[in-house]
Amino acid sequence: MSTHTANHSNKESGDDKESGTTRRDFLYLTAGAFGAVGTGIFAWPFIDSMNPAADTLAMATTEVDLAPVEVGQAITITWRGKPVFIRHRTPQDIADAEAVDVSTLRDKETDEARVQKPEWLVMVGVCTHLGCVPLGQKTVEPKGDFGGWFCPCHGSHYDSSGRIRKGPAPKNLPVPEYKFLSDTLVRIG
């Protein structure tokens, strides 16, 4: 009988070891799961703060009615906190921009690559040198030596296609992503 008790006792010890391992594994998994959830709860506000603000998302796109803009006129709208220049170019503006020898430009870009419709030029109105807003949107403002825009901060001159022609600016005025929804309605962004 004592053999039976010893065997029974050894059997229980073996079961306890198996149960202990299972319990230990369960405790490790449970602790790990709570740790992961706790880390997620702690980290979520930080991760969420990297998303754009609601007011920025609201400005992600903007639609502009171009019907009231006469040939030769320009308007400035704000998109994503930046000025966007839209000019209804004259046939002379278009001809001047297309006649430029692209190989002479610092930032080589054809007029055709910068516009979707030749009569409409849409671009971000921030000088690529140090971020000033160039003059040339109003008829009384200087348009520089090339009939486009003139940056008063450091003297960069842009042509009627917004390409850098003279001065310290390294690149052309950038063209934002835009799409014509109709002949006179454009969506920027």
* Residue positions annotated with a catalytic role: 154
CA distance 134 to 87: 14
Structure tokens at 159: 């042509």
The CB-side HSE value for 112 (13 A sphere, CA atoms) comes to 4
Calculate the alpha carbon distances from 109 to 60, 164, 182 in Å: 26, 10, 26
For residues 105 and 112, give the distance between their C-alpha atoms in angstroms, rounded to a whole number: 15
- Taking only Cα atoms into account, the Rg of the chain, rounded to an integer number of angstroms, comes to 33
Partners of 123 in the β-ladder: 85
Count of alpha carbons within 13 angstroms of residue 27, beta-carbon side: 6
Q: Is the dihedral of CA 99, 100, 103, 109 positive or negative?
A: negative
